[in-house]
Chains A and B, each alone.
Chain A
Amino acid sequence: MILFGQPWFLLSLLGLGLLLWLYLRQPRRQKKIVSQVFLFLRARKEILTRFHRLRFFRNLIFFLQCLAVLLLGTASALPLTGFYPLLGYRAVLVLDSSLSMMAQDVLPNRWEQAREQARQLGSNLLADGGEVALWELNQDPHLVLDFTKEASDLDRALDELAPAFSAPTPAELLLERLDRWAGERMLTVYLISDMALEIPPAIRISHLALRPQPVGTPCGNLAIVDAVWQMDRLWLKVANFTNQPRTVRLDVGGSTSVLNLEAEEIGSLEFQQTRTASVLPIRLMEEDALPWDNQLDLTIPLPPRILLVSSSPFLESALEAAGNNVVTIGPEDYRPEIPADLIVLEDFLPSSLPERPILVIHPPMSNPYFAWTETATLVIPRTRTDPLLRFVDLSQIRFQQVPLLDPPASLAPVVRGGETNILWKGFFNNQKTVLLAPSLSSSSWPLEPTFPVFLDNVVRWLMGEDPLHSTNDAESGILIEPFNPSYQGRGTPWGLYGTDRADGLSFYTVAQPNQQESNLQIRADMEQFGLRSAPPDLLRPITAAFLITALLVYALEEVLRKLYG
Chain B
Amino acid sequence: MPLSSEPFPGFSEALLRRLARFRFRLRPGLPGRGVGEHLVRKGGASVEFSDFRTYSFGDDFRLVDWNSYARLDRLFVKVFRDEEGFVLHLLLDRSRSMDWGRPNKWQFARRLAAALGYVALSAFNWVTVQALPDSFFLKERRGRGMIPMFFQFLDQMPPGGSLDLSAALEEYARTHVQPGLLVMLTDALTPRGVETGIKRLLARGHQVVLLHILAPEETNPNMLGDLELEEVEWRDRLEVSLDSFAARTYRYTFQNWRRELEDFCLSHQVPYFLLSSDQTVEDVLLKRLVGVLLG
Q: Which of B189, B238, B252 counts the most chain A CB atoms within 10 A? A: B238
B164-201 CB mask vs A (1 if < 8 Å, else 0) is 00000000000000000000000101110000000000
Q: Which of A47-55, A132-140, A255-263 contacts B (4 or more CB under 8 A)?
A: A47-55
Within 8 A of A (CB), among B219-238: 221, 223-234, 236-238
Is there an interface contact between B244 and A563, defined as CB atoms closer than 8 Å? yes
Is there an interface contact between A35 and B224, defined as CB atoms closer than 8 Å? no
Known: A34-B232, A35-B97. A51 touches B239 (CB 8 A): yes
Is there an interface contact between A30 and B231, defined as CB atoms closer than 8 Å? no
Is there an interface contact between B253 and A51, defined as CB atoms closer than 8 Å? no
How long is the Cα–Cα vector from A474 to B54 in the complex, in angstroms? 142
**Contact residue among A33, A48, A50, A53 (Cβ-Cβ distance under 8 Å from B100):** A33
**Contact residue among A37, A42, A53, A55 (Cβ-Cβ distance under 8 Å from B229):** A37
Known: A50-B243, A54-B243. A35 touches B100 (CB 8 A): yes
Q: Which residue of A is nearest B191, CB measured?
A: A38
Known: A37-B229, A40-B238, A51-B241. A32 touches B250 (CB 8 A): no
Known: A39-B257, A42-B253, A50-B241. A32 touches B230 (CB 8 A): yes
B28 to chain A, nearest CB (A): 37
Question: Taking the complex as formed, is B280 at the interface, i.e. its CB lies under 8 A from any CB of chain A?
Answer: no
How long is the Cα–Cα vector from A48 to B239 in the complex, in angstroms? 9
With a CB–CB cut-off of 8 A, which chain B residues contact A47? 240-242, 246, 249-250
With a CB–CB cut-off of 8 A, which chain A residues contact B233? 35
Q: Which residue of A is nearest B219, CB measured?
A: A36
Is there an interface contact between B100 and A39, defined as CB atoms closer than 8 Å? no
Known: A33-B100, A34-B230, A563-B243. A39 touches B250 (CB 8 A): yes
Q: Which of A29, A36, A55 counts the most chain B CB atoms within 10 A? A: A36
**Contact residue among A37, A43, A55, A564 (Cβ-Cβ distance under 8 Å from B243):** A564
With a CB–CB cut-off of 8 A, which chain A residues contact B57? none
Q: How many residues of A contact B (CB 8 A)?
A: 29
**Contact residue among B100, B241, B250 (Cβ-Cβ distance under 8 Å from A43):** B250
With a CB–CB cut-off of 8 A, which chain A residues contact B254? 36, 39
How long is the Cα–Cα vector from A372 to B168 in the complex, in angstroms? 108
Q: Which of B100, B221, B238, B241 counts the most chain A CB atoms within 10 A? A: B241
Question: Taking the complex as formed, is B218 at the interface, i.e. its CB lies under 8 A from any CB of chain A?
Answer: yes
With a CB–CB cut-off of 8 A, which chain A residues contact B250? 39-40, 43, 47
A54 to chain B, nearest CB (A): 4
B42 to chain A, nearest CB (A): 45
Q: Which residue of A is nearest B230, CB measured?
A: A33
Is there an interface contact between B245 and A35, defined as CB atoms closer than 8 Å? no
A28 to chain B, nearest CB (A): 7
Is there an interface contact between A29 and B228, defined as CB atoms closer than 8 Å? yes
- Can you report 23 residue pairs joining A to B where beta carbons are below 8 Å apart? A30-B226, A31-B227, A32-B223, A34-B100, A34-B230, A34-B231, A35-B187, A35-B189, A37-B231, A37-B237, A38-B191, A39-B254, A40-B229, A40-B240, A42-B253, A47-B246, A50-B240, A50-B246, A51-B239, A53-B241, A54-B241, A54-B243, A563-B224
